[in-house]
Amino acid sequence: MLQGGSVKLSLTIRLYEAGAMHVLVENPAEKRFHAAPYVISDSTLAPAKNIRMDLDAGKHLCVLQHATLVSDSSFEGYTSAGTAKYVLHLDQFSIECWYNGSLAVVVNKLQTLNYESYRDREKLVEKAKDALDLMVPLTGWKSETLGETVNCPKGPASVALDFAFHELENCYGLPERPRKAMLEPTLNPKPGSWAAGEPYRLFNIDNSEDIKFPRQSLYGNVPLVIAGSPSKKYNAGVLWVNPTDTYADVAKFGTTPEAATSHVHFISECGVLEFVTFLGSSPLDISASCGKLTGTGPMPQYFTLGYHQCRWDHDTQADMESFNERFDKEKIPCDCLWLDIEHTDGKRYFTWDHETFPKPLAMIDKFHQKGRHLVVIVDPHLKTDPAYQPYQEAVSQGILWWF
């Protein structure tokens, strides 16, 4: 157990052959959402062959799976390309990740580990009254995002941790952003100047204000960071396994590029503290290991790789057939045309507007004659309409979230 004050946190570590280490920190007394069963349940990444269970270090207890015990605080795993060694420090919690004799990642290097426990607001109010301290701020019981307020009945429950990529000067990743793959520093490492710039935000919205929010994710996000440097023969990566509203700060330390160490600090709104580190000789090793651990997407259909005409507008059948002809006239390759929500009857998904699109089969046939496909959009939101069958079924099963 990792002890902090009166709260005890459990630590579970799993090693895999390809230099991947899966770490889970949680409070066994609290029921929180675990994303990992949905993310890595179908992993094809084999566990390390050597297994050692129950690493007992005094008052602390760490359940260690798929690893070889080297000493009271270190353990090793193996990859196809080299050796991964991990050194666990429990006095001030941190984990060193070594690859082929080189230090690659230090977990909790800046000692930013944070795990806010659930609390009872009424008890806190009574405690404040008893202490005659009526000015105690009880913040964090509501969360406001995009003008919407969500109650947090158990109070603030954020988790946070930092990762130092030793002498790896560049970080890439956090995809689904309309910017460069290389992550720009959001923090100024000069003393007293830590609040320089906005962090990267991992929160899925239909973001149309790219210029106003350049570090905001778009329709989706992938909390994966890969670090590397031209002067080093190793690469490292971190997958932050938390689907809640998350911010990531990036900083660099070092006087020269060769000695620069990149830091990434994640903080998530709630959930458990869970992550996977990856080690390898190239960025391809990191990507391959992550793909084997989390699964890869199916091979896309050939037409999906081409240009798609997709926009939200009040298009009609005449408009769509005109687009179909115009692409040929202007000699613009196009493999697919999309219909947004306006093709439905009153914005009810799984229905069709027969007035706007009176002859859909004839329209689709014209697309097929030119080798094009049609996609109709279906988003995971339902119109509030008691007479609408999908809405009725979702309400009866209790699977709707209103906003």
In this structure, are 231 and 342 located in the same domain? no
Q: What is d(CA 90, CA 87) in angstroms, rounded to the nearest whole number?
A: 10
The residue assigned the tokens 């099963």 is 397
Q: Are residues 162 and 204 in the same domain?
A: yes
CA distance 51 to 314: 60
Residue 216 in domain: yes
272 and 351 belong to one structural domain:
no
- H-type helices in 75-170, by residue range? 121-130
Where is average pLDDT lowest: 68-77, 221-230, 359-368?
68-77
In a domain, 148, yes or no: no
**Residue-number span of the structural domain to which 290 is assigned:** 2-116+157-294
- Claim to verify: residue 219 and residue 266 sit in the same structural domain: yes
Q: State whether 73 and 112 are in the same domain.
A: yes
Residues 266 and 356 in one domain: no
What are the residues whose beta carbons fall under 8 Å from the beta carbon of 240, sequence distance 6 or more? Answer: 223, 224, 225, 246, 248, 266, 268, 275
Q: Please report whether residue 136 resides in a domain.
A: no
Residue-wise pLDDT for 216-272, tens only, equals 787 788 999 999 999 899 999 999 999 999 999 999 887 676 678 899 999 999 999
For residue 399, the 8-state DSSP code is: -
CATH for 264: 2.60.40.1760
Number of domains into which the chain is organized: 2
**Lowest mean pLDDT across 28-32, 272-276, 320-324:** 28-32
| Helix residue spans in 220-338 (DSSP H) | 283-294, 317-329
Helix (H, G, I), strand (E, B) or coil at 126: helix
Same domain, 39 and 177: yes
Answer for the pair 16, 73: CB distance below 8 angstroms, yes or no. Answer: no
At 177-197, the pLDDT tens digits run 877 889 988 876 455 444 457
pLDDT above 70 covers a percentage of the chain that reads 75
**348 neighbors 384 (Cβ within 8 angstroms):** no
Same domain, 214 and 363: no
Q: Look at residues 268, 294, 320 and tell me which one is the last residue of a structural domain.
A: 294
Are 356 and 346 within 8 A, CB to CB?
A: no
Which is nearest to 355 in space by CA: 366, 365, 367, 342?
342
- On the question of pLDDT at 139 being above 70, the answer is no
Query: At which of 243, 278, 294 does a domain end?
Result: 294
Domain-ending residue, one of 294, 321, 344? 294
Query: What are the b/e assignments for 77-110, b being 16+ CB within 10 Å?
Result: bbbebbebbbbbebeebbbbbbbbeebbbbbbbe
Mean pLDDT score, 39-43: 73
Question: Does some domain include residue 100?
Answer: yes
